[in-house]
Amino acid sequence: MPRIAYVNGRYVVHAQASVHIEDRGYQFADGVYEVCEVARGHIVDMPRHLARLKRSLKELSIAWPVSEGVLPMLLREVVGRNGVVNGLVYVQVTRGVASREFVFPAAGTRSALVITARKADPALAAKRAETGIKVITVPENRWDRVDIKSTGLLPNVLAKQKAKEAGAQEAWFVDTDGNVKEGGSSNAWIVTRDGVLVTRPAEHGILRGITRTTLFDVAAKLGLKIEERGFSVAEAKAAREAFISSATTIAMPVVEIDGAPIANGHPGSMTLSLRQAFFDVAEKSPA
Ligand code: PDD
């Protein structure tokens, strides 16, 4: 079965799917996106992801490419046509195709919509969670509207490549006060020596992760305390546990920061409990 992509109203074979060379996403990264996890045949937290997409579009004055109510159906259709039971579905909206001028194109220019889906092996993620991941820290060098899930991700690309070259799997952006902001494609968390979950407030220079939001619900269910506050790299290195969260990793233990082991260098039990309980709490739309 060939992979199928949705491109501006048509379902096309993924390998042949293309957009115009003057798509503003291609030329200016003038677009936004969402990634939803697909788990056991369900799209995870789709309403929250689509609500964030709506916000991103509004913040950038990009028009809806289709009527809002149709999008869940399109996501389901792409997941179904690709036979994805476990994996992810990606949705991207750009300001559309227009002659290359910086200012917005003429009113009536249609925004462009691409939806793809791909399979992932949950056993690989589970295996990774057993050993945990390593992170490096890098100075924050992104714009200050990282609350918008924009396709302009060059600093994230460079940071994550740097992490890879250092033998790590994620890079944490650090602000000028020495506080951790978030990862290149994930939110950052620690567990203090007293067993309190700490993550940076979403109002302060990070993306309000959907997994992060759902983990607040998971923590409430497990009776865990959360403090929304900044934490420094030094505090993270001395923490009992550290982890990242995103749609593609859920809660993933961090066992090393800049080469320094966290606690005994093994995944923390609270992180693993959050990971385990996640799907009982997350909203699951049938795909
Ligand atoms: N990234 N922060 C950044 C910079 C991100 O790119 C992401 C997600 C998150 C976590 O958000 P969520 O929990 O909604 O996935 C935080 C996705 C997975 C990506 O770009 O592939």
* CA-nearest residue, atom 6 of ligand 1: 185
Q: Is the Cβ atom of 246 under 6 angstroms away from ligand 1?
A: yes
Q: Judge if 219 and 245 occupy the same domain.
A: yes
**Where does a domain end: 55, 86, 120?**
120
Q: Distance from the CA of 108 to the center of ligand 1, in angstroms?
A: 31
| pLDDT, averaged across the chain | 97
Same domain, 159 and 191: yes
Helix and strand numbers, DSSP H then E, in the chain: 8, 16
For the cut 90, the answer to whether the pLDDT of residue 287 exceeds it is no
78 shares its domain with 168: no
Q: Are residues 17 and 100 in the same domain?
A: yes
In this structure, are 83 and 145 located in the same domain?
Answer: no
Tell me the two tokens of residue 103: 């200012």
Residue 34 Cβ contacting ligand 1 at under 6 Å: no
In the chain, how many domains are there? Answer: 2
247 CA to middle of ligand 1, Å?
7
Query: Residue 44's Cα: distance from chain center in Å?
Result: 12
The response to whether residue 212 sits with its C-beta less than 6 Å from ligand 1 reads yes
> Could you tell me if the CB of 207 is within 6 A of ligand 1?
yes
Q: Is 149 a catalytic residue?
A: yes
Compute, in angstroms, the gap from residue 187 CA to the centroid of ligand 1.
7
Q: Are residues 19 and 152 in the same domain?
A: no
pLDDT at residue 1 is higher than 90: no
Same domain assignment for residues 88 and 151: no
The 10 Å Cβ neighbour count of residue 193 is 10
| Dihedral (Cα; 208, 210, 215, 216), 10-degree rounding | 50
> 209 CB less than 6 Å from ligand 1?
yes
Q: Final residue of a domain: which of 75, 91, 120?
A: 120
CATH number at residue 138: 3.20.10.10
pLDDT in tens, 161-202: 999 999 999 999 999 999 999 999 999 999 999 999 999 999
pLDDT of residue 65: 96
- Residue 137 banded pLDDT, cuts 50, 70, 90: very high
d(Cα 13, Cα 87) in Å, to the nearest integer? 18
**Cα-to-centroid distance, 94 and ligand 1 (Å):** 18
Write out the DSSP string of 35-80: EEEEETTEEETHHHHHHHHHHHHHHTTPPPSS-GGGHHHHHHHHHH
- Active-site residue identified among 149, 160, 181, 284: 149
Query: DSSP characters for 187-213?
Result: EEEEE-TTS-EEE--TTTTS---HHHH
Answer with the one of 120, 155, 174 that is the final residue of a domain. Answer: 120
Are 191 and 226 in a shared domain?
yes
pLDDT for 204 beyond 90: no
For the chain, helix, strand, coil in percent to 5 are 30, 30, 40
User: CA-to-CA distance for 168 and 258, rounded, in angstroms?
Assistant: 9
Residues written for the chain: 287
CA neighbor of 125 nearest in space, from 48, 210, 197, 37:
37
Q: Which residues span the domain enclosing 101?
A: 4-120
Q: Residue 114 has which token pair?
A: 């691409």
Mean pLDDT over residues 210-235, rounded?
A: 98
Query: pTM for this structure?
Result: 0.97
Task: Encode 132-171: b = buried (16+ Cβ within 10 Å), e = exposed.
Answer: bbbbbbbebebeeebbbbbbbbebbeebbeebeeeebbbb
233, 112 Cβ separation under 8 angstroms: no
Q: 265 and 157 in one domain?
A: yes
Task: State the CATH number of the domain containing residue 88.
Answer: 3.30.470.10
Residues 140 and 94 in one domain: no
